[in-house]
Amino acid sequence: MRGLMLTALVALSCSALAQDISGVVVVDDQTLLFNGLTDKEKASAWTLLFDGKTLEGWRPYGKPAGTPIGEGWKVEEGLLHKLPGVKGGDIITEKQYTDFELAWEWRLAKDGNNGVKYLVTEARPGAPGYEYQMIDDTSDKWKKLHDKAKTASFYEVFPPAADKPLKPAGEWNRSRVLVRGDHVEHWLNGKKVLEYAFGSEAVKAGVADSKFKKYPDFGTKLTGHIMLTDHNDEVWYRSVKIREHAAK
């Protein structure tokens, strides 16, 4: 009987794993938490940014490596948990990236607001990076927000596709950002929902119509960090990983 039960559990875990077009293995809500890499991901040069155990490789924004990360960030049961109302501060990868695919899974609390920023620089603290917005779109708290501030947008610059497949607060979503040369894509739950080009006329117009217009280099390509923002709301992360590409 024990052998049959073990076989059934293994079969269930394997059936719950799915592979998207980027080669990232994703995990649904019925499987054990997965913060590792498959053999195929390893062969495709994916690396973990969060191993489910520690925050090794991360540091507070604007602080040197080795600076303790704020108490608002906790690693709990394989998840990275941003506690509500407890200051943790924005955190960034110690390493910087130029061309890459970034993938992560995330879950917001009701009314939550957070984001992941990429190509983050410490030379521009008022607008450190380009944000993939994560927010409870259906919350009454945010109902007056324009589409450029909704989930999967290039925050304040471009809205995502109107038919994006967003799961509600309390459920897990999968996101991906692709940066190749000047080309950028935002993905949500297996669907591409936004693409743009750094430095394009469209980006210049979007920035000019945003709160970032006072930063003349905002919307241009650079090498930078990955940031998990602290907007004081509750959010959970898992399976945070990255694959670098040769710079174009």
Q: Which residue has the higher pLDDT, 2 or 244?
A: 244
Q: Which residues contact 234 (CB under 8 A, 6 or more apart)?
A: 81, 82, 83, 84, 108, 109, 112
Mean pLDDT of the chain: 89
Q: Is 70 exceeded by the pLDDT of residue 143?
A: yes
Query: CA-to-CA distance for 164 and 152, rounded, in angstroms?
Result: 8
- Binning pLDDT at 50, 70 and 90, where does residue 12 land? very low
* Domains of the chain from N-terminus onward: 2-244 (2.60.120.560)
pLDDT tens per residue, range 30-89: 333 567 888 899 999 999 999 999 999 999 999 999 999 999 999 999 999 999 999 999
pLDDT tens per residue, range 190-213: 999 999 999 999 999 999 999 999
